[in-house]
């Protein structure tokens, strides 16, 4: 099986590439990645010498590049992870979100259509459903009510992908996962940011009252689910992928402080995120029923592994916290009080 993976140098994409190449020599991967601030080839060191691995530095919006990769390499499937993936950055600067998440997806879909790529897995998010009131859970038929430029762009790209199935019969499958955490996650998202700040005895900036609820999914569980959909999913269908562990943010932050032995006085409530979704809640019944997938990693175990990884990899953290990171951090947090 030859896979064209987009965004394979990011957090989830790199976990997927390490996983599929680690399972034997029957899979080869072409990793197309632009190496934005979030792309990091260090994440792929364990597989960089694998005979089935090829890295292509490029943009998914580059039609000629995407077309030539698809015609030269003839992949059996495209697994599309590449995105501008952070809500706060999408609020500060929406334009790259529009380019990559919408135009980039369009470029890939056109290549699928023109060159008859046999399978296309579009990796999306539960954020497309927006905030879900308790006690409800969103299944795959739930209305799309995205709140941020990021989630709106993902909802738009999901609909575009599904339209290529309906109109052109392209072999499209869409996955919608909940909040991922695990090793190699860029320290802009809640869990790695809080771990990294706690380890450096810096304040932990909790938006608003911190009672917003997220459903936490260990990254390897997510990658197994994407593999399951790639292998067994039905074309034209959407599959939710939840972690089955809904927690308020404050509870997550407290667990991080307890596990790192740091005081709760580091918690600092700051101004809320504009348009902040209060609660995500997802039903994963369909993927279980159709592929047999279920999440396996308990949150406490996954969190302990993740914290250990950040403690053991200070050099990785130091390198990703470049000037760009500090600039972003100042822009996002400076005026929050």
CA distance 125 to 214: 12
- Furthest-apart CA atoms within the chain: distance in Å: 57
The one among 43, 249, 295, 306 contacting ligand DAU by CB under 6 A: 249
Residue 10 site contact among ligand DAU, ligand NAD, none (CB < 5 to 8 Å, cut-off depends on kind): ligand NAD
190 in contact with ligand DAU (CB under 6 A): yes
- Other beta carbons within 10 angstroms of residue 303's beta carbon come to 21
13 in contact with ligand NAD (CB under 6 A): yes
34 in contact with ligand NAD (CB under 6 A): yes
Distances (CA, A) of 230 to 1, 157, 275, 289, 297: 11, 18, 33, 15, 21
281 in contact with ligand NAD (CB under 6 A): no
E strands within 136-290? 172-177, 179-181, 204-207, 213-218, 238-241, 246-248, 267-270
287 in contact with ligand NAD (CB under 6 A): no
44 in contact with ligand NAD (CB under 6 A): no
- Other beta carbons within 10 angstroms of residue 81's beta carbon come to 25
80 in contact with ligand DAU (CB under 6 A): no
Residue 239 site contact among ligand NAD, ligand DAU, none (CB < 5 to 8 Å, cut-off depends on kind): none
**Burial call 240-261: b when 16+ CB within 10 Å, e when fewer:** bbbbbbbbebbebbbbbbebbe
CA distance 100 to 195: 29
Q: Which residues contact 282 (CB under 8 A, 6 or more apart)?
A: 126, 129, 137, 138, 176, 178, 215, 240, 241, 242
310 in contact with ligand DAU (CB under 6 A): no
Nearer to ligand NAD, 222 or 262 (CB): 222
Residue 190 site contact among ligand NAD, ligand DAU, none (CB < 5 to 8 Å, cut-off depends on kind): ligand DAU
Residues 201-220 that bind ligand DAU (CB under 6 A): 205-207, 212, 214
CA distance 137 to 220: 23
Q: Which residues contact 200 (CB under 8 A, 6 or more apart)?
A: none
* DSSP state at residue 98: I
Binding mask 172-211 for ligand NAD (x = CB under 6 A): -----x-xx-----x-------------------------
Residue 227 site contact among ligand DAU, ligand NAD, none (CB < 5 to 8 Å, cut-off depends on kind): none
How many residues at the interface with ligand NAD, by CB under 6 A? 31
The one among 5, 29, 39, 195 contacting ligand NAD by CB under 6 A: 39
Catalytic residues: 126-127, 150
What does the binding site for ligand DAU look like in residue numbers (CB under 6 A)? 85-87, 125-127, 178-179, 189-190, 193, 205-207, 212, 214, 249, 273, 280
């Amino acid at each position: 099986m030859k896979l064209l993976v987009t965004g394979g140098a990011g957090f989830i994409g790199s976990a997927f590439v390490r996983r599929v190449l680690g399972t034997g020599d029957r899979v080869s991967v072409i990793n197309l990645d632009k190496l934005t601030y979030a792309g990091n080839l260090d994440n792929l060191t364990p597989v960089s010498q694998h005979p089935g691995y090829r890295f292509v530095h490029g943009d998914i919006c580059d039609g000629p590049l995407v077309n030539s990769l698809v015609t030269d390499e003839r992949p059996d499937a495209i697994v599309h992870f590449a995105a501008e993936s952070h809500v706060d950055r999408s609020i500060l600067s929406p334009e790259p979100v529009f380019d990559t998440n919408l135009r980039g997806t369009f470029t890939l879909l056109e290549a699928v259509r023109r060159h008859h790529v046999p399978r296309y897995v579009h990796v999306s998010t539960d954020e497309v459903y927006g905030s879900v009131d308790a006690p409800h859970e969103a299944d795959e038929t739930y209305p799309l009510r995205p709140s941020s430029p990021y989630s709106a762009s993902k909802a738009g790209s999901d609909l575009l992908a599904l339209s290529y199935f309906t109109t052109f019969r392209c072999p499209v499958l869409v996955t919608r996962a909940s909040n991922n955490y695990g090793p190699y996650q860029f320290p802009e998202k809640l869990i790695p940011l809080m771990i990294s700040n706690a380890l450096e005895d810096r304040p932990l900036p909790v938006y608003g009252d911190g009672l917003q609820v997220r459903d936490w999914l260990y990254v390897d569980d997510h990658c197994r689910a994407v593999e399951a959909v790639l292998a067994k999913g039905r074309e034209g269908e959407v599959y939710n992928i939840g972690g089955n562990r809904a927690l308020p943010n404050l509870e997550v932050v407290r667990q991080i402080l307890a596990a790192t032995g740091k005081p709760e006085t580091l918690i600092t409530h700051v101004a809320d995120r504009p348009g902040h979704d209060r609660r995500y809640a997802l039903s994963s019944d369909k993927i279980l029923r159709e592929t047999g997938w279920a999440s396996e990693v308990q949150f406490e175990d996954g969190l302990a592994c993740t914290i250990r990884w950040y403690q053991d990899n200070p050099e990785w953290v130091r390198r990703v916290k470049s000037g760009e990171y500090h600039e972003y951090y100042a822009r996002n947090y400076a005026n929050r009080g």
